[in-house]
Amino acid sequence: MKTLLQDILFHIPLYQLTFLTPLPKEETYFESVSTSIPDQWFETPTLLLLDHDEECLKLSNKTFVNRLIQDSNLIGIILCHQHEMVIEEDCLALLCECKVPIVRAEESIYISEFLTGKKQHHHSFSMLSMELIGL
């Protein structure tokens, strides 16, 4: 089943998200989620969800970054950390140049949302404003 990346991000409060590289304007679908950087190519359009420090540190290694940008099935990278992960400038510039979207989500509560592809019923700001208009 294909899941729209922008649709999932829409249901996370904006203040929880930091966009390290631009998000594509066109709709971006993925079919699977990987929680680690593999040694081989992804078989289907995949969202890379990194929530462990050792996996995130690989994004500062040019060897791993070069392999990732060559994988046509890599849809985007989500970093789930409360603290800011530092990615080497040249590696981040390379990912940005190749238009790989990288988003940092501060709360790990949203990890299950990415893994299952199902939206949990969190109140988004748009839903709250609709409720307030009704009052």
Is pLDDT of 112 > 90?
Answer: no
In the chain, domain spans: 3-134
In this prediction, residue 9 has a pLDDT band, given cuts at 50, 70 and 90, of confident
Angle between helices 62-70 and 89-97 (to 10 degrees): 10
Range list of H helices, 33-108: 53-57, 62-70, 89-97
Q: Specify the pLDDT at position 14.
A: 82
Q: How far apart are CA 129 and CA 135, in angstroms?
A: 10
Query: Which class does domain 3-134 fall in?
Result: alpha beta
Report field, pTM of the whole predicted structure over 0.75: yes
Q: Specify the pLDDT at position 45.
A: 94
